[in-house]
A and B are shown apart, each in its own frame.
Chain A
Amino acid sequence: MARIFKFGDGISTDAIIPGRYNVTTDATALGKACFIEARPDFAASVQPGDVIVGGRNFGCGSSREHAPLSIKGAGISCIVAESFARIFYRNAINIGLPVIQCDAIYNAIEDGDPISIDIHSGGIGVNGKMFQGETPGPVAVAIMEAGTLIDLIKTRGWAAIEEVS
């Protein structure tokens, strides 16, 4: 079962992957440097499918897409946070890394707790309790259904977004 890696408030893209590790575009290679300074054991401990739970303003700072790519490359399947910085949220959705905003979960979980998430419904199960994440916007839903923004635009063009706007 997926386990939780719990982080605090204001986790910046510099904490997720410091600038000097953005030396490749390969997600797996970037994944090895994910949280390399903020939590040095992170990349080696993540099992594929594990989940990050963060506090407020997760992913603030630089627009570097290396940040969500490194998290995805490390094997994380989803990030749940109380709130996300705008550019990070959009980047994560664009590259096919599910992100769910949920206020209630943060104080109800601990690092290492098992967690199950239904990406489509936003339902989160942890410690015998169910939490409901916020419903993503219509564009985010369209992108998630296609896989990535590139997949969506390549197959359907802007019409895919214009029809939900």
Chain B
Amino acid sequence: MGTLTEEIFSRRLGRDVHAGEIVVAPVDYAMAHDVTGPLAIEAFRHLEVPLWDPERVILVFDHILPANTVASAGLHKVVRDFATEYGVTHVFQEGICHQLMVEKGFIRPGGIVVGADSHSTTYGALGCFAAGFGSTDIAVTFATGRTWFRVPETIRINLRGALPPGIFPKDLALQVIRRLGAEGANYLAVEWGGEAVEAMSVDERLTLANLTVDFGGKAGLCEPDEQTRIYLGDAEVADLHPVAPEYRSVVEVDAQTLEPQIACPPAIDNVQDLSTVEGTQLDEVFVGSCANGRIEDLAIVAGYFEGRQVHPRTRTIVVPASKQIYMEALARGYIQTFMEAGALVMNAGCGPCLGRQHGVLGPGERALSTSNRNYAGRMGSPQAEIYLANPAVAAVSALAGAITDPRGFN
């Protein structure tokens, strides 16, 4: 009985669990990456115990890949040495941790997964309870296979109607953030539902779940359904639904009347209709990240770039979220399209999102990004400005050199 979150915890613990309870629960997997890993490893070593399960610890190099300074190389080595010493089997350097967690089959509906990265909420798209933690919490999970949770209450968000042309899950998420504010779901779980979500592919749902943390959400879940079964290639996906749920609140969003939404600097909840900022000149466009670096996103951008050139003032950087996506994009000809259009295509990973590689912003520069963070200094200089938008807006804005509406673009 209860919300998706309460259902998952109840099944996992074999008793009725309700929001507000503090529980110590086993997890399926614990993930850390090249930035959060070294602190987690240091804390784990202080515990002086064996690793819980070398096959359930996931280590990913993605934030700085390959290492671009002596200092980051040293931190990478801390993670590699730990993996070797403890026989960790799942060590990856082929894309963003969150994309790999989903692609490599670690995420199952009804599961509980923790990651030392805030965007671990992404896995909720498959009906898994997944939350981000800091390194010390993850260290304790590395040692014990468990962590503690205050089982959260839930905000139900119903996305109504069909998405019109030029409107994507990113716009729906930004509209929700606009309405609820940057801490609107702090300490709460979010359920994403309604016809628009039911009609979405898993790739699209991953965008919603990903952005859940950017308005404070602890987890962002979609009900597993036929799309989930197709994605996982498994007809045996467990039935999991909210059962007589009591929600903290219910939010209704009409997808059909939405304009493209832009998160303007310097905060995720400074969201405007595109028309408000149309024509703003851009020095950089970044297509990628755990929010919008998947094959469907690249397909949208390639569709606009075909036979065109990006604007000379706008350096355009494309970073597929994983090697698998990169290779699929190669097979479909998208990479050639990007390069012929004048974009730079970087190796799979986090790209310039966190301002440490692949296109750092200088003082006074202005970027539009398909990623999920626009804090001052996020992508480089604190005097740079970051606008966040959907992949179609990113594509046409790169071509025009300024923020442009994809609807009616030709």
Contact = CB atoms under 8 A, between A and B. Distances in A.
B382 to A, nearest CB: 4
B72 to A, nearest CB: 7
Contacts of A62: 117-118, 354, 373
Interface string B146-163: 101010000000000000
Range of interface residues on B (Cβ < 8 Å)? 35 or more
B183 A15 contact: no
Nearest to B360: A20
A86 B186 contact: yes
Nearest to A164: B22
Contacts of B293: none
Given A14-B375, A161-B148, A86 B187 contact: yes
Interface string A6-36: 0000101011001110111100000000000
A74 interface: no
Interface stretch (B41-49, B227-235, B283-291, B387-395): B41-49
A68 B39 CA distance: 12
Interface stretch (B102-110, B127-135, B164-172, B318-326): B127-135
Contacts of B216: 57, 60, 85-86
A34 to B, nearest CB: 13
B137 interface: yes
Contacts of B80: none
Contacts of B148: 139, 158, 161, 165
A67 to B, nearest CB: 9
A103 B270 CA distance: 23
A95 B136 contact: yes
B355 A150 contact: no
B71 A65 contact: no
Contacts, number: 136
B116 A63 contact: yes
A162 B199 CA distance: 41
Contacts of A68: 134
Nearest to A14: B375
Contacts of A65: 36, 39, 134-136
A161 B137 contact: no
Contacts of B241: none
Interface in A30-83: 37-38, 56-57, 60-66, 68-69, 83
Nearest to A153: B140
A158 B355 contact: no
Interface in B377-391: 377-378, 382
Interface string A95-116: 1000000000000000000000
B376 interface: yes
B218 interface: yes
A16 to B, nearest CB: 10
A37 B377 contact: yes
B35 interface: yes
A161 B133 contact: no
A87 interface: yes
B69 interface: yes
A133 B118 CA distance: 27
Nearest to B132: A63
Interface in A132-162: 137-139, 148-150, 153-154, 158, 161-162
Contacts of A38: 376-377, 382
B250 interface: no
Interface residues of A, number: 45
B150 A60 contact: no
A86 B140 CA distance: 18
B35 A148 contact: no
Contacts of A150: 43, 46-47, 136, 139-140
Contact of B22 (A10, A12, A25, A165): A165
A150 B146 CA distance: 14
Contacts of A10: 182, 267
A164 B47 CA distance: 22
Contacts of A90: 133-134, 137
Given A83-B186, A138-B22, A94 B137 contact: yes
Nearest to B381: A37
11 contacts: A12-B378, A18-B377, A19-B355, A25-B42, A64-B134, A65-B39, A83-B186, A139-B150, A154-B46, A161-B22, A165-B22
Interface of B: 21-24, 35-36, 38-39, 42-43, 46-48, 63, 69, 71-72, 75, 116-118, 132-137, 139-140, 143-144, 146, 148, 150, 182-183, 186-187, 216, 218, 267, 354-356, 373, 375-378, 382
Interface of A: 10, 12, 14-15, 18-20, 22-25, 37-38, 56-57, 60-66, 68-69, 83, 85-87, 90-91, 94-95, 137-139, 148-150, 153-154, 158, 161-162, 164-165
Given A137-B150, A154-B48, A161-B148, 10 more contacts: A14-B375, A20-B356, A23-B69, A25-B38, A60-B216, A61-B375, A65-B135, A83-B183, A94-B137, A139-B148
Q: Name the 3 nearest CB pairs between A and B, nearest first.
A: A91-B134, A165-B22, A23-B71
